[in-house]
Amino acid sequence: MLELVKMQQRQPETDFTEFVRVVEPRLRRALIGAVGADRTHDAVAHALMWAWENWSEVEPMANPAGYLYRVARSSLRERQPTRVRFLVDDDQRIPDVEPELVPALKQLPEQQRTCVWLAHACGWTHPEISEALDISTSSVSTHVNRALAALRSQIGTSGQ
């Protein structure tokens, strides 16, 4: 009985801290591919601030990272850059990346780039991407397949 009382008296701060520990890295990785490394910090901060202010709505969500992805993207719409900046070109920082990958990603349409990034760089499932981008799961599959085909064509490899 005492444990039930303790569970009912849990502090929202403790729950939110654990939530941030789990969701923040995932959200940050997803946003780097969508908005660029230079804008990711602000987007993540805005999304997490919104989550704290609306914690009672966010806590029971099945895919809060996907929802916060949309919150973060919306927060940046009014100051959209002319081009997305990925991580700086530094072979020392990213040793296992095909040198032509970043330029090839930049050539993709935004929706394809975002879907392939979320699926392959961040490990999101197609239903999670679908929810985050507010498109159908079949559209996500189409965007990922087209993006991969374009990347293979541009880079000149047939592997995955």
pLDDT at 89 over 80: no
| Amino acid in position 99 | P
112-129 pLDDT, tens digit each: 999 999 998 888 999 999
> What does the pLDDT average to over 51-62?
92
Band of residue 6 on the pLDDT scale cut at 50, 70, 90: very low
What structural domains does the chain harbor?
11-85 (no CATH), 86-160 (1.10.10.10)
> What does the pLDDT average to over 34-41?
83
Quick check: 34 and 117 in contact, CB under 8 A? yes
The pLDDT mean for the chain works out to 81
Q: Cα(7)–Cα(118) distance, rounded to whole angstroms?
A: 35
Q: Cα(56)–Cα(18) distance, rounded to whole angstroms?
A: 15
- Output the pLDDT for position 95: 52
Quick check: 33 and 58 in contact, CB under 8 A? no
Contacts of 150 (CB under 8 A, 6+ apart): 104, 107, 108, 112
Band of residue 92 on the pLDDT scale cut at 50, 70, 90: very low
